[in-house]
Structure 1
Amino acid sequence: MKSALIIHPDFYDRCDLEDFLNKRSYRVATAKSIRKGLFKLRGQVFRCLIVKAPDQLEYCLALIHEIRKLRPQVPIIFLKREVTEQFAETLSQQPEVYLVLEPFSKIDLLRRLDGLCEQEVSSAPSVNAR
């Protein structure tokens, strides 16, 4: 099953994304803060994370580090309104980290999520039932 965790401080944006993804057969959990999102990540398994990127690059890298300690392979999509070249370049060097500029098309975000979920399922080892 496709699942995503949305960590976004804005209530309306968070609910809008949640409703959009729920209608497209995603199991979605939301969190208002990074702390609450990390707590949910400890107790549940998600195929993808959608995170409102912190303004400071150092905070963003620290967040990636914390997420990787909990779930090393989960793809992270950062949403950001304004991006410097250094910010984009640094994030592009991180494995399984993607940057989406706001405002964005929800359909494009859905396509990216579907691609990441399919990629993860196809790369998972197959188990033969006896």
Structure 2
Amino acid sequence: MLGVRGHIVKWAPQLEVLAHPAVGAFWTHNGWNSTLESICAGVPMICMPCFTDQFVNARYVTHVWTVGVQLENGLERKTIEEVIRRLIEDEEGEEIRNRVEDFKEKANFSMRSGGSSYETLESLISCISSS
């Protein structure tokens, strides 16, 4: 019964959706923007890259940062269920959720005054303004 436990739409405000506390995971192609938005929202990822840089981003998410899992072996219902259960129910999922929450805090700190992203942008603005 679609609509009771989920709803599929053509477009949604991704940042608002990711910020909602009911979101337990984000199924993503791992484009750079989507990957960063998921990290900034503290939401673990189900990675299913399609082309180009998405494969590298998904590899970082799953094997380096370990804030998501790769959906492999096709789109069978059982496979999808197993991946979702790994993230939502298993001890591994709890570790992933804790790690992505830590990444969220670091990302948000970097954008505040004194943070690396904030200071780098300020430096760029200063450089452009002085020309």
Could you state the TM-score of these two structures normalised by the residue count of structure 1?
0.50
Higher strand share: 1
Query: If each structure's helix is expressed as a fraction of its own residues, which one has the higher value?
Result: 2
When normalised by structure 2's length, the TM-score is 0.50
